[in-house]
Amino acid sequence: MTKREFMQMVIDGVTSEEMVAFATAEIVKMDARNAKRAEKAKEVKPEDIALDARIHEILTSDYQTATEIANQIEGVTLAKVAARLRKMDDISVIDGESLGMGKKKVYALA
């Protein structure tokens, strides 16, 4: 059974043992992919450790945006700096504060 056939059967309101078996197998595959992603997300690369250290050197008690921080680091994209800032904020290594309703945040030493 293909995913398309499965979806069409769901739309048509049809259920069968074959559908249950297919759905169960797909859930097992999904769980395996998610577990693999979770393990990979836990890995810390050496360049990330170096970038975290550089960010820590730049931060002070004054709040700065990710753009302001990224502009002080050569050879690293804003996206990479912003991602590391989010991770550092998530584990409370630094302090991130939202500016209003948008996604924009500012960061400082915790």
Report the half-sphere exposure of 73 (CA within 13 A, side-chain side).
23
**Higher pLDDT, residue 38 or 42:** 38
What is residue 84's predicted lDDT score, i.e. its pLDDT? 93
Question: Could you tell me if 65 and 25 lie in one domain?
Answer: no
80 and 55 both lie in a single domain: yes
What is the per-residue pLDDT across 59-89, written as a single tens digit (0 to 9) for each? 999 999 999 999 999 999 999 999 999 999 9
pTM for the whole structure: 0.61
Number of domains in the chain: 2
Same domain (yes/no): 29, 50: no
- Regarding whether 80 and 36 lie in a shared domain, the answer is no
Structural domain that includes position 58:
46-109
On average, the pLDDT of the chain sits at 91
Dihedral of CA 14/18/24/26: which sign?
Answer: negative
CATH of residue 55: 1.10.10.10
Residues 33 and 17 in one domain: yes
* 51 and 103 co-located in one domain: yes
pLDDT at 39: 84
pLDDT band at 41 (very low <50, low <70, confident <90, very high): confident
Same domain, 31 and 66: no
Instruction: Write out the two tokens for 41.
Output: 């997300």
